Amino acid sequence: MENTKICVAGIGAVGGLLASMLGKTHGDELTLIARANRAQLLRRNGLILHSEFYGEVHTKAHQICEKATEIGVQDFIFICVKNYSLAEMAEMLRPAVDAHTVIIPVMNGVEAGDRLREVFPEAIVCDAVIYTISGANPDGSVTQSGQYTHLFIGSKVQDERHQSGARAAWELFAGTGFDCRFAANINQEIWQKFILNCAFNTITARHRTTTGVIRCDESLKADLRALLTEAYQAGTAEGIEVPDDFVDQKYDYVIHRQPPDGTSSMKRDVDAKRPIELDAFTGTVLRLAEKHGIDVPVTRQYHEVLAQMVSEY
């Protein structure tokens, strides 16, 4: 497709990573939407990715804006914000969306695509999940750590229009060297990460701790398994196809294979006294537990304690 208009909205850890890679082959077609301070840094320095996996990547975008009123209707929009900012971002993006626009939220949780389909019923809203360790730096650059980063793109909606839109979004990364994979069953991919996040992000944030501490504390190990189990039960009640031994797999990964200094973005947000995606993780499990009549006592306890912690900032 020639003269394709591609937008990345939210240029933080994930948005900056995706924009940097898309800029390698689509820089002349790429628009970034960022908050004022970050937009200024990006205009001055360009897109800079320091990556253990991809190396040093320096690219530029066609334009960098703070509002969607400046960019016109887009062909593809990648939304990379925290869940608590999604409603605000969606409203701001209205001028950039019409019936042909393909929207790809690359966010935590399992509900972002569903929420956007309600806001933009005329558009093609896909679903995605990313596995990466990345962080935004004060100078506007992004640092990616570790020997992996991969993005799954698909659509929960199984009609031809949405599946074709998801494939077109996936194809944007051809030639960039970025590990992007089309997922026919994207819901399964999203839920597998979600279940792990509901346990690991929650426990590291609540105790402001790391993997190494968890694996040496029997009570934290028990909580880890319980949080995994309760999120898994919510998924299976929703009809999500997750392997029977999934809880054992992820428990084993955290306890035996994850680096001892491993932690989560939610823990870093608590440390910095920033808002956290509590509703997107434990909040979702609690809603599904009520819907399906499931008892999730450990999730409920962690949700209440974390909510209190955040209220006391």
Cα–Cα distance between 111 and 147 in angstroms, integer? 28
Asked if residue 7 lies in contact with residue 32, where contact means CB atoms within 8 angstroms, the answer is yes
Asked if residue 143 lies in contact with residue 51, where contact means CB atoms within 8 angstroms, the answer is yes
Q: Residue 123: what pLDDT?
A: 98
Backbone torsions φ then ψ of 105, nearest 5 degrees:
-80, 125
Backbone torsions φ then ψ of 117, nearest 5 degrees:
-65, -30
pTM: 0.95
Q: Which domains does the chain have, with CATH numbers?
A: 6-184 (3.40.50.720), 188-311 (1.10.1040.10)
Q: How is residue 185 annotated by DSSP?
A: T
Mean pLDDT by 10 residues, the chain (313 residues): 88 96 96 95 95 94 94 97 96 97 97 97 98 93 92 97 98 95 96 97 97 97 98 96 94 94 93 95 97 97 97 92
Q: Residue 3: what pLDDT?
A: 84
